[in-house]
Amino acid sequence: MSQVRAFLAIDLDDDLKPKINRIIKEFKQIDTRIKYVELTNLHLTLKFFGEIDTAGLELLEEKIAKVVSEFKPFDIKIKSCGAFPNNNHIKVIWVGIEDDSVIRDLHDKLDKEFSSLGFDKDKKFSTHLTIGRMKSAKNKNQVKSTIEEFSDVEIGEMTVGSIALKKSTLTPSGPIYEDIKVFEL
């Protein structure tokens, strides 16, 4: 039985990517080791499944379609910059979503359906777009001050009209994402 590394995501509108790229360029001026997410790969993860059997994809798609049918397209505002777990211990640098109640509702309903298929429920869901992963503490204070500088940055708004079940293929030059199926809201 073949397997696929899969996740469910909301893709970022292309017109917002240059604004996020300007933030990334600021971080790139710091002498530190950060692995940046390719602009083409920017997304908001709703659920990471890991390695799953391709035979189970149909069942997963049915659950997604069922939940998605309850939602209409909605607007989100992409704003702020921060770090996980926090600004003093930086592992992930992210851009946030303001007023994420509809995304949280969507996530929670999806998560409930996925748990009925045997997937673990997410312990803590956070609406964000990962822009980079910090690989060392070198010049951490400069990274921290750049995060704080962009803490209230306004990226823009977009309408979420679909979510995508994606395949992730890991390569030495970074992951390659392909849509398995797109679900219209």
Catalytically active residues are 43, 128
For residues 165 and 168, give the distance between their C-alpha atoms in angstroms, rounded to a whole number.
10
For residue 80, what are the contacts with CB-CB under 8 A and spacing of at least 6? 95, 96, 98, 150, 151, 152, 153
Contacts of 168 (CB under 8 A, 6+ apart): 5, 6, 7, 175, 176, 177
Residues with Cβ within 8 Å of 172's Cβ and at least 6 positions away in sequence, in order, are: none
φ, ψ dihedrals at 108, nearest 5°: -65, -40
